A and B are shown apart, each in its own frame.
Chain A
Amino acid sequence: QKEVEQDPGPLSVPEGAIVSLNCTYSNSAFQYFMWYRQYSRKGPELLMYTYSSGNKEDGRFTAQVDKSSKYISLFIRDSQPSDSATYLCAMTKTSYDKVIFGPGTSLSVIP
């Protein structure tokens, strides 16, 4: 079993839809949970992170972590064509440990 699993998609939604992206993981020691966004032919950029369990909201984006189920989610409200990218979940045990990335979900938001 891979340490971090993520549905690769591709996921295609109409503009304005709510998007749900998910990852599962196997290592209960992970404490930091991140979502990176990667546009085509660019480097990943951090979208948001959550420490331990709970929710975090930033504008149209909400990250959720359920450590008991080893499951994390990213919700995008009112999706825009500019949200079209690959979304990588990532996690680590401590802030200085190596980061394990999921394989990414490719998202297309159709105008």
Chain B
Amino acid sequence: DTAVSQTPKYLVTQMGNDKSIKCEQNLGHDTMYWYKQDSKKFLKIMFSYNNKELIINETVPNRFSPKSPDKAHLNLHINSLELGDSAVYFCASSPSSAGLAGAYNEQFFGPGTRLTVL
């Protein structure tokens, strides 16, 4: 019955490796996001997709590449992992990229993927 799910929950890997994190939402939402939360709990947006199209692309290294095969899935692939990539990565989804004035477009977060790069 999970709304936004991510796999894996934990990921421990060596520097230089390539890894992927998968995200799926069963809420029927149009928009999905990837966030990075560092050790100081700072939650920062990385990417946003609306109906499989990239709409937000923050200043993120090219080693990070999101892929949305359909609007229910948004995966994150990371090449050549570095120590500084260690963080918790959250996927989120929201109903629409545009809403009525005054109505907040609530984002629903997944449980997070804790990535540790050694």
Chain A residues within 8 Å of B, Cβ to Cβ: 8, 32, 34, 38, 41-46, 49, 51-52, 86, 88, 95-96, 98-99, 101, 103-104, 106
Contacts and interface: CB of A to CB of B under 8 A. Distances in A.
B60 interface: no
Interface in B33-50: 40-45, 48
Interface residues of B, number: 29
B40 A103 contact: yes
Interface stretch (B12-20, B75-83, B109-117): B109-117
A42 B9 CA distance: 11
Interface string B38-69: 00111111001000000010100000000000
B45 A98 contact: yes
Contacts of B110: 43
A42 B105 contact: no
Interface of B: 4, 40-45, 48, 56, 58, 90, 92, 96-112
The interface residues of chain B, by DSSP majority, are classed as: loop
Given A42-B112, A43-B112, A95 B41 contact: no
Nearest to B100: A95
B107 A46 contact: yes
A99 B107 contact: yes
Contacts of A32: 104
Given A46-B106, A96-B105, 4 more contacts: A34-B104, A43-B110, A45-B108, A96-B97
Contacts of A103: 40-42
A41 B101 CA distance: 33
A101 B104 contact: no
Given A96-B96, A98-B56, A8 B107 contact: no
